Amino acid sequence: EPEVTQTPSHQVTQMGQEVILRCVPISNHLYFYWYRQILGQKVEFLVSFYNNEISEKSEIFDDQFSVERPDGSNFTLKIRSTKLEDSAMYFCASNEGKGTNYGYTFGSGTRLTVV
Amino acid sequence: RKEVEQDPGPFNVPEGATVAFNCTYSNSASQSFFWYRQDCRKEPKLLMSVYSSGNEDGRFTAQLNRASQYISLLIRDSKLSDSATYLCVVNRGTGGFKTIFGAGTRLFVKA
């Protein structure tokens, strides 16, 4: 079964440092997403990406965040200057189309710990 | 009022039991509905879409009541492996921003 892969599985970083989280979506999927989940809380939307540009973003996705699709396979989330409150599990997801009936396939996540 | 509300549980049931989860949503413009399961510290996994006519996948049955803005998931003959958090997910339209996750209902199935 096709899957979304994320690396690294766990990253520890010092406050103020930049981090890049990497994702390889399913190859024939067109829409890509980043979500995060703070421990014990619900899954929250960060950003959606289609046709090499951001299609939507949430209030969480401020100027410290950026996304890129540098080549045909990778999809990255960069946090420029991490804060303690950025500690969370970050999930990448993809789906086939923009229709409302498409569910997402999530990657296994990157656990980011900011110290 | 939260856009997607679920009973947080936990639901503790014996193997073989039937258990039902409920979910309500506040935005009447919501267009599509899903149930995901999430194991502890793992990613959400799509369990099933929910259609207006109701749909079934093995031991799992999902129902949608648009008039009451209510979604349900029924699990029959519970297995130990069904222990997880079940997430109700509502899509208000196209794009991820309009996809709202409920906080989830925890299920523990005991031997």
Contact of A33 with A25, CB cutoff 8 Å: no
Whether pLDDT at A99 is above 70:
no
Whether pLDDT at A61 is above 80:
yes
> Of B41, B42, B104, which has the smallest distance from its Cβ to A42's Cβ?
B104
> Of A31, A55, A106, which has the smallest distance from its Cβ to B43's Cβ?
A106
Instruction: Give the torsion sign (CA, B23, B29, B34, B37).
Output: negative
Q: Is B36 on the interface with A (CB under 8 A)?
A: yes
DSSP state at residue B77: S
Round to the nearest angstrom and report the end-to-end CA distance of chain B. 37
Q: Does B92 or B78 have the greater pLDDT score? A: B78
Which of B104, B88, B13, B99 lies closest to A100, judged by CA? B99
Q: Do A103 and B94 make contact, defined as CB atoms within 8 angstroms?
A: no
Query: Measured between CA atoms, how close is B40 to chain A, in angstroms?
Result: 10
The Cβ of residue A20 has, within 10 Å, a number of other Cβ atoms equal to 14
Average of per-residue pLDDT values in chain B: 93
pLDDT (0 to 100) of residue B96: 60
Q: Does B60 or B95 have the greater pLDDT score? A: B60
pLDDT (0 to 100) of residue B26: 94
For residues B73-92, give the mean pLDDT.
96
Question: Given pLDDT bands bounded at 50, 70 and 90, which one contains residue A98?
Answer: low
pLDDT (0 to 100) of residue A47: 93
- Residues of chain B with pLDDT > 90, as a percent, come to 77
Q: Do A100 and B91 make contact, defined as CB atoms within 8 angstroms?
A: yes
pLDDT (0 to 100) of residue B94: 62
Q: How far is CA B63 from CA A3, A49, A77, B66, in A?
A: 28, 31, 36, 10
pLDDT (0 to 100) of residue B83: 98
Q: Is A47 on the interface with B (CB under 8 A)?
A: yes
**H or E stretch at A22:** strand A19-24
- Residues of chain A with pLDDT > 90, as a percent, come to 77
Q: Is B33 on the interface with A (CB under 8 A)?
A: no
The Cβ of residue B53 has, within 10 Å, a number of other Cβ atoms equal to 7
For residues B69-91, give the mean pLDDT.
96
The Cβ of residue B41 has, within 10 Å, a number of other Cβ atoms equal to 11
